[in-house]
Copies of this chain bind each other. A is one copy, B any other.
Amino acid sequence: MLLRHHDAANLAAECARCGVRSASVCAVVPDEDIEQLATYTQHLEFEAGQTFINQDEPAEDFFVVTEGHARLCTLMPDGRRQVTGFASPGQFLGLAADGNYAFNAEALTPLKLCRVTRHGLKLLMSQFPQLEQRLLTEASRELSVAQGRMLLLGRKTARERLASFLTEHAGMAACRDVIVLPMTRTDIADYLGLTIETVSRTLNALRRDGLIEIDHVTRIRLLDRPALEDIAAGGA
């Protein structure tokens, strides 16, 4: 995993992935820069269930996931919960910050991530302009995803939501039609704006219709991907 000299865009991710002082990074970044990187970045680990970003606290840090999965969610005072997204390795966390964090972030599985203070990030960006560009690209992509989720939450039926969820995950993961979900039914429900009961019932309905197979609670096989994608898009 070699870092191209002029592609500083991936720097943060690389630092995180390899550890700041790894050979590949040291090979291409001048020593004084490495010093700075070491000052501003930090490697962290959490076990499943731990919260590492707290809603309403000042958004001082910025994270890159390097291993494991995390869950981002927003809470209402009475306990209602909306999962706004799941983060997998390579994803940035904390972009969507405007003063205070508007969400909690919790480890779904054992999690490793790289932390940079916002101040550090600012310095890094001024030093590696391509990093800023990369972040902008990332933010644009996320915005695009967010719009899709608004359509899902505002207008899709339970069946369409589940179909969307399944195809979305099949798309990212190994291009296989077998997906392994690192999250619980409760997480899925809160992600899709449904209840666990509805998620359970709807998955079973899809199974009865011969569209999926449920090998194990967390292991689902997509038997008819095109049909699922059609349902997800609202085309039936």
**Cβ of A143 under 8 Å from chain B:** yes
Instruction: Give a binary string over A76-87; 1 marks a CB under 8 Å from any B CB, 0 the rest.
Output: 111011101000
Binds B, one of A8-16, A93-101, A217-225: A93-101
Residues of chain B contacted by A155 (CB below 8 angstroms)? 76, 80-82, 193
B-side contacts of A193, CB under 8 Å: 153-155
- Residues from chain B with a CB closer than 8 A to the CB of A133 are 125, 132
Say whether A154 contacts B151, CB under 8 Å.
no
Segment touching B, from A37-45, A134-142, A180-188: A134-142
User: Complex formed: what's the CA distance from A155 to B233 in Å?
Assistant: 22
A141 to B98, CA, bound (A): 6
Can you identify 11 A-B contacts, CB atoms within 8 angstroms?
A: A74-B148, A76-B151, A76-B156, A80-B155, A84-B150, A98-B141, A98-B144, A102-B144, A132-B136, A139-B139, A143-B143
Nearest B-chain residue to A160, judged by Cβ: B76
| Residue A103 is within 8 A (CB to CB) of chain B in the complex | yes
CA distance A121 to B101 in the complex (A): 30
**A147 contacts B102, C-beta separation under 8 Å:** yes
Residues of B within 8 A of A49 (CB): none
Task: Tell me the smallest distance from the CB of A159 to a CB of chain B, in Å.
Answer: 14
How far apart are A143's CB and chain B's nearest CB, in angstroms? 3
Q: Are A143 and B154 in contact (CB-based, < 8 A)?
A: no
Asked if A19 is at the interface of the complex by the 8 Å CB criterion, the answer is no
Known A-B contacts A80-B155, A155-B76; A143 and B144 likewise in contact (beta carbons under 8 Å): no
A27 within 8 A of B: no
Q: In the complex, A140→B77 CA distance in Å?
A: 24
B-side contacts of A190, CB under 8 Å: 154
CB distance from A114 to the nearest CB of B (A): 19
